[in-house]
Structure 1
């Protein structure tokens, strides 16, 4: 039946029973998934493909709209894979994300559900990898995010979630690539926005001519951006223009005084355009302040920051404590973190390369630390949480980008005697189904007899 519907591509009219975690609505029979819909709506959808015995569709008409429906800011929102929830009111997006985290952690009976951390939902994205596609039939180039249901690049004039100036540079970037000698051999442009400047990393699969380099220079000058070139892997990334400028961008974090709550120290963080940094600058500042608040830091605390990256959380903690160590598996990130410690005159903040997903890595001595920060990727920190069970840690603050692995790891910690004191959702990626959250676990100080 579904195969016939897909073959004919006839529109379907249906009632949306609920929304899944991935943002797709599902019909009352459980056989049709639809993008661009909300729970309770009656809609007409267009069949697109079939996956796991379900028909994948896209909304083309709304007959009965949910009270949570809003008009998307972007005209390409129904197609673009960069956003999947622009048609849902921001407050409703938060409610949906919080409900998911609550459902996964409710059995652990958190002591307190704190209000979500939120900020401006537009122009927030300071890092992105933009796809580039040369359309030979139209002899033009498209630059932007890919469509939800395919590999094509969305044709739009601007991106409303990208930070300035990148959000308005999609068409100029397309024109730049069109001006190159082989536009079909530029697969992507990576963008990074700092407080001080914007960088573009152009991935090219051909030898640039003198004229190509001149075109890139003129673009950098006219749009006030730094341009980097990457012919092969990340290690080949090199500055093109301005020739004599630093490769590093910067962002600032105001560390609050724990007693007054007023900004006490300004931390300046350096990062390379290809480094991982939190995508939302405003939320990142709030997140760091919240981690520090939850740790209840004292100067004598011994703090371990795991999955520390370039020191985004470690360095601000170092403004409060005399013994702070950050560990991370990526050597390049550790190098940048050490540079950031020197930049902020914090010689007591140390960093080490440690593989936290290997038995040898998690065998690192946890005994010196009474407070620990976990900020793992989506796979979570299962091995490390098992090791923390036998440590002297009294407080753990867990920053999660995947509520499923957070729930798994939370079970391990509570089985080891920790209590889940508090949890809250962090709106790092508005208009997407991505769920970031933060939780604190505590347990009484262990005696010599355990």
Structure 2
């Protein structure tokens, strides 16, 4: 994007050979070495240049948009020698919209790149190599994003309202008329939503739409800074009737959400049919964006955990019970721990709704500050499932590393959405606690993006 260029930077164009790709899906290259301006010493390698849109093995011409002492960032201007991995992006907004960063990469190659990124993180951050690389979990490449946060902006000079993802590396909203990672029935509403909101009295007081697609209903939560008028409600109701969606309103924080019309609140849930689980959720709850991949993920995690009928299992960062409830169909007892009491209450309600409350228990704890002594008070569990947010589970890894052999579980399965924090925590388990990294592999939860989800298995 030209607006990202430092205005004080003199234009510079480099011809570069791309050596690898980073976690942001940028090509990584080195300039030819240049002597140090003061010492005259010639370094072994030149400055690192990150080239947006370039692929490994390509020879490219790129314009530098940001220059730092240790690296530079450049925009691809011309591909001089093209990688066989390069494909034509399906979406016309690719390169402007920030929703995707890898549509120019063949889908199977995307998975391979993410696997390499995971292995590189494990090695460079943790000095670790898994004894086994797990087969990647992959699924449909398009129409998979059942959860999304769309920004809304009223831009008078552009003729109305914009609805979509932010532009890449920008606070601007992309001028989107199509999207191929949203479910088709939602993508088809991008233009009608613009027209709808442009006709509301609060068109400039609605900054965001939270999308949640369930098994049967699609709900859009409108962040409203002013209450809709009666005329606004009539327009919204007509849109619901015409397009088969339901609007909820959020005047303040996430807890303030409520159905626009209480008579048609909708029913959000997803299914885990392999375990006979029906999982209700609210429109602003954290759930996996890709329902198809989530089913495979839960099945893979439970298989890798190797749960036996008499086992006691600990599910850490349990959320709504995405893993807790399936595990309860296999084990004698499952105890879920989560930082939020509200989520704990919801997980218990979900267990009750599925008739497995007797095999589950839940507690609210701050797992980011947990100690070995606190873990010891929980009692002995045969297996742990750990599914933290991007921050990882460093305190928990340190606590597990310090447990005595008789206190340790027989196996830990760690599900991660950030390979860097996974590698950090794995290093603590292995190098400080003597655990073994038995296996690791990637989960392509977000095709066409640079997000790397992964799973690792540890044994004492």
Query: Normalised by the size of structure 1, how large is the TM-score?
Result: 0.90
For residue 276 of structure 2, give the secondary structure of its aligned residue in structure 1: strand
Deviation at 1:46, TM superposition (A): 4.9
2:178 aligned with 1:178: no
Which deviations, in whole Å up to 9, do the C-alpha atoms of 1:190-248 show, x marking residues without a partner?
1011111111000111232111111111111111011101111112111013x324454
Contact kept, 8 Å, 1:303 with 1:323, in 2: the verdict is: yes
Q: How many residues in Structure 1 have an aligned counterpart in Structure 2?
A: 432
Deviation at 1:396, TM superposition (A): 0.5
CA distance in 1, matches of 2:373, 2:344: 17
Deviation at 1:393, TM superposition (A): 1.1
Q: Which among 162, 166, 169 is matched to residue 146 of structure 1? A: 166
Q: Which among 106, 111, 116 is matched to residue 99 of structure 1? A: 116
CA distance in 1, matches of 2:446, 2:153: 25
Query: Normalised by the size of structure 2, how large is the TM-score?
Result: 0.88
Deviation at 1:42, TM superposition (A): 3.0
Deviation at 1:6, TM superposition (A): 6.0
CA distance in 1, matches of 2:231, 2:295: 42
2:399 aligned with 1:387: yes
Contact kept, 8 Å, 1:12 with 1:45, in 2: the verdict is: yes
For residue 216 of structure 2, give the secondary structure of its aligned residue in structure 1: coil
Q: Which among 358, 362, 372 is matched to residue 384 of structure 2? A: 372
- In the alignment, what sits opposite 1:260? none
- In the alignment, what sits opposite 1:21? 23
Q: Which among 130, 134, 154 is matched to residue 114 of structure 1? A: 134
Question: 423-432 or 17-26: which moved more?
Answer: 17-26
For structure 1, the residue ranges without an aligned partner over 5 or more in a row are 256-264, 444-450
Which deviations, in whole Å up to 9, do the C-alpha atoms of 1:21-64 show, x marking residues without a partner?
21122343236432122123233445555567755443343332
CA RMSD of aligned residues (A): 2.3
Which deviations, in whole Å up to 9, do the C-alpha atoms of 1:244-267 show, x marking residues without a partner?
244540100123xxxxxxxxx421
CA distance in 2, matches of 1:9, 1:342: 63
* Residues 173 and 26 of structure 1, relative CA distance in 2, 3 Å threshold: same
Deviation at 1:167, TM superposition (A): 2.0
Question: 283-292 or 386-395: which moved more?
Answer: 386-395
CA distance in 1, matches of 2:338, 2:193: 35
Question: 363-372 or 222-231: which moved more?
Answer: 363-372
Contact kept, 8 Å, 1:362 with 1:383, in 2: the verdict is: no
Q: Which among 417, 421, 425 is matched to residue 405 of structure 1? A: 421
CA distance in 1, matches of 2:373, 2:79: 52
Deviation at 1:278, TM superposition (A): 0.8
CA distance in 2, matches of 1:338, 1:51: 51
* Residues 413 and 28 of structure 1, relative CA distance in 2, 3 Å threshold: closer
Which deviations, in whole Å up to 9, do the C-alpha atoms of 1:400-436 show, x marking residues without a partner?
1111111111122223232111111111111111111
Deviation at 1:9, TM superposition (A): 5.4
- In the alignment, what sits opposite 2:269? 250
2:148 aligned with 1:128: yes
For residue 221 of structure 2, give the secondary structure of its aligned residue in structure 1: strand
Contact kept, 8 Å, 2:6 with 2:66, in 1: the verdict is: no
For structure 2, the residue ranges without an aligned partner over 5 or more in a row are 32-46
CA distance in 2, matches of 1:388, 1:186: 46
CA distance in 2, matches of 1:31, 1:184: 43
- In the alignment, what sits opposite 1:212? 232
Contact kept, 8 Å, 1:6 with 1:50, in 2: the verdict is: no
CA distance in 1, matches of 2:60, 2:84: 14
For residue 213 of structure 1, give the secondary structure of its aligned residue in structure 2: helix
Contact kept, 8 Å, 1:191 with 1:200, in 2: the verdict is: yes
* Residues 5 and 44 of structure 1, relative CA distance in 2, 3 Å threshold: farther
Question: 85-94 or 27-36: which moved more?
Answer: 27-36
- In the alignment, what sits opposite 1:262? none
2:285 aligned with 1:283: no
